[in-house]
């Protein structure tokens, strides 16, 4: 079996599962946010459930329209707060004690290797970076899981991606996943478990792995996953709230497809409007002027991302024709960035720093685009109207390219700044 099949077999009380089988599996963590949880809460009540299956295993995180941007958002967030109090949930994270869900849960050690995690948010696939089976589901599935602790799945086929060779300067996990989506397309891994492997992945730090698994959904993947290794062990040792289980695939598991990439040939990569698969080398896009730069999101709002962007911005100014918005993904990241004086660098460069929020990524708030405006962002989607007006455009990149573009006023690379 593959690692995904092993985890699903263990959670469904079976010795073996095969792709295509329908199974019922125990879940270790159920997650929802201020957009999706209100639907789950309504459905939970509708089915007559009296209590949740486990008060320690349901995470409700207001992060999309929070801090509450309007009355409707305030009402949604209130539902989460009241439901959490009613059922005495330990994993409710209020504004000021929170962060973007997919950055917060790994940071707090609430997801561990070997888990099955479901979330009413498509980027729940992020936690595969820790060696967990983790996937987004609908709000009604979350409602049922909150009551029963179970969820049904069709066992996905697995597709293996092998990365080898040395990364070029400034090239990161974001470039690897954008390049991969550019290669296979937005439905190239439809309902597959995307397993990332090879020497390059073995040397990729955890923040890069989280970025890659985060965007598995953008290739149509059911999940992304990386077999746990010494980097995983080191990451979870300091923070795991529960004992992890380190699964690995059998010797010769069956994969639907195996693809290999020579990372020495992968350039700094940008996804152009209006699909994550519409990729081009950043260096070819020098004629694209931008109005807004966003550093943040569940894809690239971690401390290492903030440090990378600050390295580019140090001693430089945001181009007068550009606004730059920096959003640390959690309160801990915000505080550490403050301690390292990274926020000073951005503010001196005339960027704005926001409290943790998903904000502009989904066109929520804190950076909506007007008609005709263009943004380059470290976020994960660039569909039509994703960040605001349907006639605006979003380009996706890693933090180094986004920061360099903020200085240049157009899409550019750190090399153009002599870095």
* Helix or strand holding residue 153 (H, E): strand 150-154
pLDDT of residue 388: 96
CA-closest candidate to residue 63, choices 269, 301, 232, 222: 301
Last residue of a domain, one of 261, 293, 311: 261
Distance CA 311, CA 277 (A): 28
Last residue of a domain, one of 241, 261, 281: 261
- Same domain as 343, residue 303: yes
- Same domain as 276, residue 253: no
- Same domain as 242, residue 108: yes
CA-closest candidate to residue 248, choices 265, 266, 228, 268: 228
pLDDT of residue 162: 98
What confidence tens digit (pLDDT) does each residue in 12-46 have? 999 999 999 999 999 999 999 999 999 999 999 99
The stretch 332-358 carries a mean pLDDT of 97
pLDDT of residue 386: 96
- Same domain as 52, residue 22: yes
Q: What is the domain count for the chain?
A: 2
In this structure, what CATH number is given to the domain that contains residue 38?
A: 3.30.499.10
- Same domain as 324, residue 207: no
- Same domain as 58, residue 174: yes
Q: pLDDT-based confidence at 309, cuts 50/70/90?
A: very high
Distance CA 374, CA 54 (A): 45
What confidence tens digit (pLDDT) does each residue in 107-164 have? 999 999 999 999 999 999 999 999 999 999 999 999 999 999 999 999 999 999 999 9
* Helix or strand holding residue 183 (H, E): helix 173-184
Distance CA 153, CA 21 (A): 8
Contact yes or no for 357/95 (Cβ under 8 A) = no
- Same domain as 68, residue 193: yes
Residues near 133 by beta carbon (within 8 Å), at least 6 away in sequence? 4, 7, 8, 11, 115, 116, 117, 193, 223, 225
What confidence tens digit (pLDDT) does each residue in 366-404 have? 999 999 999 999 999 999 999 999 999 999 999 999 999
CB atoms within 10 A of CB 90: 12
- Same domain as 278, residue 387: yes
Contact yes or no for 4/223 (Cβ under 8 A) = yes
Helical spans, DSSP H, in 186-245: 199-202, 206-214, 230-237
What confidence tens digit (pLDDT) does each residue in 252-298 have? 999 999 999 999 999 999 999 999 999 999 999 999 999 999 999 99
Question: Range of 140's domain?
Answer: 3-261
Residues near 194 by beta carbon (within 8 Å), at least 6 away in sequence? 158, 159, 161, 213, 216, 219, 221, 223, 224, 225
Distance CA 7, CA 248 (A): 9
- Same domain as 287, residue 184: no
- Same domain as 275, residue 197: no
pLDDT of residue 267: 97
What confidence tens digit (pLDDT) does each residue in 337-346 have? 999 999 999 9
Residues near 309 by beta carbon (within 8 Å), at least 6 away in sequence? 295, 326, 346, 399, 400, 402, 403
Cα-Cα-Cα-Cα dihedral of 394, 400, 405, 408, to 10°?
A: 180
Last residue of a domain, one of 261, 277, 301: 261
Task: Report the percentage of the chain scoring pLDDT > 70.
Answer: 100
What confidence tens digit (pLDDT) does each residue in 152-186 have? 999 999 999 999 999 999 999 999 999 999 999 99
Residue 295 has φ and ψ, to the nearest 5°, of -110, 120
Edge-first strand listing for the sheet containing 352-353: 279-281, 269-271, 393-396, 374-377, 292-295, 323-326, 352-353
- Same domain as 370, residue 239: no
- Same domain as 288, residue 187: no
pLDDT of residue 272: 98
């Amino acid at each position: 079996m593959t690692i995904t099949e092993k985890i699903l077999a263990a959670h469904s009380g079976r010795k073996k599962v095969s792709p295509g089988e329908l199974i019922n599996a125990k879940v270790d963590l159920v997650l929802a946010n201020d957009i999706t949880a209100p639907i789950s809460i309504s459905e939970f009540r509708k089915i007559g459930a009296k209590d949740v299956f486990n008060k320690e295993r349901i995470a409700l995180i207001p992060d999309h329209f929070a801090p509450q941007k309007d009355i409707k958002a305030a009402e949604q967030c209130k539902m989460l707060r009241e439901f959490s109090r009613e059922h005495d949930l330990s994993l409710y994270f209020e504004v000021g004690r929170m962060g973007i869900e997919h950055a917060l849960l790994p940071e707090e050690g609430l997801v561990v290797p070997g888990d099955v995690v479901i979330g009413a948010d498509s980027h729940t696939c992020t936690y595969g970076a820790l060696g967990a089976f983790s996937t987004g589901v609908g709000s009604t599935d979350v409602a049922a899981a909150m009551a029963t602790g179970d969820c049904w799945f069709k066992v996905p086929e697995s597709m293996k991606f092998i990365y080898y060779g040395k990364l070029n300067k400034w090239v990161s996990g974001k470039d690897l996943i954008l390049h991969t989506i550019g290669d296979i397309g937005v439905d190239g891994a439809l309902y597959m478990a995307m397993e990332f492997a090879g020497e390059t992945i073995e040397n990729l730090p955890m923040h890069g792995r989280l970025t890659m698994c985060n965007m598995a959904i953008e290739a149509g993947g059911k999940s992304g996953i990386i077999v746990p290794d010494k980097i995983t062990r080191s990451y979870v040792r300091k923070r795991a709230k529960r004992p992890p289980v380190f699964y690995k695939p059998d010797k010769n598991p069956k994969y639907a497809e195996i693809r290999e990439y020579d990372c020495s040939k992968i350039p700094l990569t940008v996804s152009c409007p209006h699909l994550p698969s519409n990729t081009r080398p950043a260096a070819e896009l020098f004629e694209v002027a931008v109005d807004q730069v966003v550093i943040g999101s569940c894809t690239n709002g971690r401390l290492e991302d903030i440090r990378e962007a600050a390295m580019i911005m140090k001693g430089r100014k945001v181009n007068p024709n550009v606004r730059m918005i920096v959003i640390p993904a959690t309160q801990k990241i915000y505080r550490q960035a403050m301690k390292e004086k990274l926020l000073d660098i951005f503010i001196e460069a005339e960027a704005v720093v926001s409290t943790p929020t998903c904000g502009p990524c989904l066109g929520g708030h804190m950076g909506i685009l007007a008609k005709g405006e263009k943004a380059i962002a470290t976020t994960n989607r660039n569909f039509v109207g994703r960040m605001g007006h349907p006639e605006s455009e979003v380009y996706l990149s890693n933090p180094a390219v986004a920061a360099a573009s903020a200085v240049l006023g157009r899409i550019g690379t750190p090399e153009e700044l002599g870095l």
